[in-house]
Structure 1
Amino acid sequence: MGTVFSITVRGTDVGPRALDEAEAWLRHVDAVFSTYREDSAVSRIARGELAPQDCAPEVREVLRLCERAREHTGGWFTAGHSGGFDPSGLVKGWAVERAAEALLSAGATGVCLNGGGDVQLHGGPWRVGVAHPLRPGQVAAVVESRQGALAVATSGPAERGCHIVDPHTGQAPVGGLASLTVVHAGLTDADTWATAAYAMGPGARAWLEAQPDVTAFAVTADGETWSVTP
């Protein structure tokens, strides 16, 4: 998936085997969904060598979730831009959410699984700092989780350049956002919604305000901030 993962667990009942299985799961997801591997399921689908109905169950699940995200966001999130197939915008959050749930089932009382800066939390207390996109080394906001499930996902060009495009134009989004963070229960939705909302540009705030149980925090290109609370 082209990123770094870190896992922090709490609890005396979760052992090394559960951590090894979480790592193996993330490696498996990379092998199946990487657009950089010629033999991955995603690459084979894109070349027309593999039909969706013939895919492994996890691939069919991701296809279904991508379609759900496309419908929910009115097409602002899509895995089919320019006629290709690239579910990367959903896969990382989904894989992290699944791995965190598995660790919880294995006996962990608290889980913090970070995938490239997007985080799935269980238990608590946890504190997650959101990097300021315009002030390197500074924090723009802090998200606190005391119990239950909570996910934090940020979209923007700060670290990797502009890798998000407006699916309707194929160009970088316009609207003056330097970063957009979405906080929700699960990282699958938080990540796809952050991506879609960032692509919306000026329409992001109104769309996020219409979503249930969502908190969001944005930094504009000129350093101003706005937030959305449930």
Structure 2
Amino acid sequence: MRRVEHVMGFPVSLRVDDAGFPGSAADGLFGWLREVDARFSPFREDSEVSRLDRGELDAGRLSPGLTEVLALCERYRTATGGAFDVRLPGRRLDPCAVVKGWSVQKGAELLRAAGARRFCLNAGGDVAVAGGPWRVGVRHPEDAGRLCAVVEVTDGAVATSARYERGDHIVDGRTGRPATGLLSLTVTAPTLTEADAVATAAFALGREGIDWASARPGCEVFAVTSHHRVVRTPGFPVAGDSAVRSRT
């Protein structure tokens, strides 16, 4: 089965290699992602996130999903000393950096529950896979037509934070200014919940985020600094000789 839909502002592609996988399970996956967008998007005025931000909801009466997401946001805010923060002064509450990976990981779990054993779920370049090995390309941060690495993953996730799609959209919460020090940072982790959040949090930290991310249990890192230096942790699962030579 192969299927692509535009959800949450980006394309989501699904490939399932298991024979006889039910189309209804794919319907359930994309239905779940549309529900997440409706409930958690800060760009929808009637979403739960927007209503909480306006003070229309009591914090003690939030849905279990939003409660879980906000707890994850607080965990990473504390772990980064405030560099990662979804409640920046003068800006609306924006938990998207956690919601994306969290919701797609939940979607991957729905696929497993429906019987999928070999699949690739790609949400705007952040990927959850099972039953590999799968090869996932890491885009060159300054040339959309090139890859700077190819990752080989059997069961797990790959996520990248960078400037190339949305410019300086990641803010260092300690300064209130766009994060500097990195052009891109890719994380592999057991789940996309962690890979996506760690990649964003590490990017917000800047150059120090490389060491911070690599110290997270189960995480491996491939980064390109603003000075075009490539840094790769020893366990980063590069396929063959695909990566730019690391200079540490």
TM-score (norm 2): 0.87
Q: Aligned Cα RMSD in Å?
A: 1.5
Deviates more, 1:45-54 or 1:24-33: 45-54
CA distance 1:225–1:2, change in 2 (3 Å):
same
Q: Which of 46, 49, 73 is matched with 2:53 structurally?
A: 46
- Offset of 1:181 from its aligned partner? 0.5
Unaligned runs of 5+ in 2: 1-7, 236-248
Say whether 1:137 aligns with 2:145.
yes
Deviates more, 1:1-10 or 1:127-136: 1-10
Map 1:1-230 to 2 at 5 A: 1-82=8-89, 84-146=92-154, 149-175=155-181, 177-230=182-235
Looking at structure 2, the residues matched to 102 and 23 of structure 1 have their Cα atoms a distance apart, in angstroms, of 10
Local SS of the residue matching 2:194: helix
**Match for 1:190: what amino acid?**
A
- 1:50-96: CA deviation from partner (whole Å, max 9, x where unpaired): 12221222111212222222233332222222164211110000010
**Match for 1:228: what amino acid?**
T
Looking at structure 2, the residues matched to 44 and 163 of structure 1 have their Cα atoms a distance apart, in angstroms, of 23
8 Å CA contact 1:154–1:181 kept in 2: the answer is yes
8 Å CA contact 2:199–2:213 kept in 1: the answer is no
- 1:122-156: CA deviation from partner (whole Å, max 9, x where unpaired): 1112100000011221001111023xx31111011
**Match for 1:184: what amino acid?**
A
**Match for 1:100: what amino acid?**
A
Looking at structure 2, the residues matched to 22 and 163 of structure 1 have their Cα atoms a distance apart, in angstroms, of 28
Q: Which has the higher helix share?
A: 1
- Offset of 1:171 from its aligned partner? 0.6
Following TM superposition, where does structure 1 have runs of at least 4 consecutive aligned residues deviating by more than 3 angstroms?
A: none
Local SS of the residue matching 1:81: coil
8 Å CA contact 1:94–1:187 kept in 2: the answer is yes
Deviates more, 1:65-74 or 1:44-53: 65-74
Looking at structure 2, the residues matched to 50 and 111 of structure 1 have their Cα atoms a distance apart, in angstroms, of 38
8 Å CA contact 2:42–2:93 kept in 1: the answer is no
CA distance 1:69–1:7, change in 2 (3 Å):
same
- 1:193-222: CA deviation from partner (whole Å, max 9, x where unpaired): 111111111212221232222111011234
Local SS of the residue matching 2:29: helix
8 Å CA contact 1:77–1:192 kept in 2: the answer is no
Percentage identity across paired residues of the two chains = 49
